[in-house]
């Protein structure tokens, strides 16, 4: 089942979005004296077609046939997070699961402790309350994340 619900804000122009993502990554790599190699490109491509939040091990399992090692996947993920194309959610069992986040609307996650499914959810009213409560005490919020752990609909049916 697809987990990635919220699309980038200007999603009608998918090719422009992909171009912006690649430009950002290439720039970040260049700053670190690195190039966009085929292996790094494969990892980013894999993210762009994914409909789920991906664990590092899944990316490795899917791409190792192309000669990618765990270390390459690990380092590429780190760089994709540094330039804020990708971020991670803590999944079932504490394993980080990654998603492309650039230009996507802010959302939070519901994590099923039985099957590991991650559902995306938006709470505009709750965001508003948080903003106001922070401002009231002079705190400037920059980012946050909510992760709610529990059982998804399919899993609670079988385990009341
Ligand atoms: Zn479940
Ligand atoms: Zn998400």
Ligand nearest to the CA of 87: 2
Helix (H, G, I), strand (E, B) or coil at 123: coil
Secondary-structure class of domain 14-158 per CATH: mainly alpha
**CA atoms of 102 and 118, how far apart (whole Å):** 19
Q: What is the DSSP string of 10-24?
A: TTT-HHHHHHHHHHH
Query: Tokens 């980080």 correspond to what residue?
Result: 96
**CA atoms of 103 and 19, how far apart (whole Å):** 13
Task: Please give the distance, rounded to the nearest whole angstrom, from the Cα atom of residue 14 to the centre of ligand 2.
Answer: 19
Ligand nearest to the CA of 150: 1
> pLDDT digit of tens for each residue in the chain (160 aa)?
789 888 887 666 778 889 999 999 999 999 999 999 999 999 999 999 999 999 999 999 999 999 999 999 999 999 999 999 999 999 988 999 999 999 999 999 999 999 999 999 999 999 999 999 999 999 999 888 889 999 999 998 665 5
The domains of the chain are located at: 14-158
Task: Please give the distance, rounded to the nearest whole angstrom, from the Cα atom of residue 30 to the centre of ligand 2.
Answer: 28
Is residue 98 within 8 Å of 3, Cβ to Cβ? no
End-to-end CA, the chain? 22
């Amino acid at each position: 089942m697809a987990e990635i619900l919220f699309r980038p804000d200007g999603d009608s122009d998918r090719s422009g979005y992909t171009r912006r993502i690649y430009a950002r990554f290439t720039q970040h790599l260049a700053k670190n004296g690195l190039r966009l190699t085929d292996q790094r490109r494969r990892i980013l491509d894999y993210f762009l077609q994914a409909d789920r939040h991906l664990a590092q091990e899944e990316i490795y399992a899917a791409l190792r046939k192309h000669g990618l090692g765990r270390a390459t996947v690990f380092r590429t993920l780190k760089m994709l997070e540094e330039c804020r194309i990708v971020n991670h959610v803590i999944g079932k069992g504490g394993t980080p699961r990654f998603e492309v986040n650039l230009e996507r609307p802010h959302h939070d996650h519901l994590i099923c402790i039985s099957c590991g499914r991650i559902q995306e959810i938006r709470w505009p009213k709750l965001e508003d309350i948080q903003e106001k409560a922070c401002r009231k005490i002079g705190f400037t919020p920059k980012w946050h994340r909510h992760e709610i752990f529990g059982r998804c609909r399919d899993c609670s049916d079988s385990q009341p």
